[in-house]
Amino acid sequence: MARRGASEVSDEILEEGCYYLSRLGLSPEQLAAHFEVTPARVKALSKSYEAKLNSGEVVPGDFDRMFWADVKKEAEGDVKLTFL
């Protein structure tokens, strides 16, 4: 993942990323390092997105899940994904 400051990424993207990437096994500490926020902020963002899913404000989709799975693979150096 490209390292960018939290001020360069919208809260909506951070929420979605924290939610899906945590579901894919990344710890709050790992996500905090990648998104340059605190682990507490990662947990709050993930919880906020989960609340939006539960309320129907956002609708889960296969595209979103697959997008974040691909981001995780790329960050881990999945050569097949990187060269596609």
Neighbours of 45 (CB within 10 A): 25
* Spans of all domains in the chain: 6-76
Res. 53: pLDDT tops 70? yes
pLDDT at 6: 47
pLDDT band at 61 (very low <50, low <70, confident <90, very high): confident
Residue scoring higher pLDDT (55 or 82)? 55
DSSP assignment of 15-61: HHHHHHHHHTT--HHHHHHHHTS-HHHHHHHHHHHHHHHHHTSS---
Res. 14: pLDDT tops 90? yes
pLDDT band at 26 (very low <50, low <70, confident <90, very high): very high
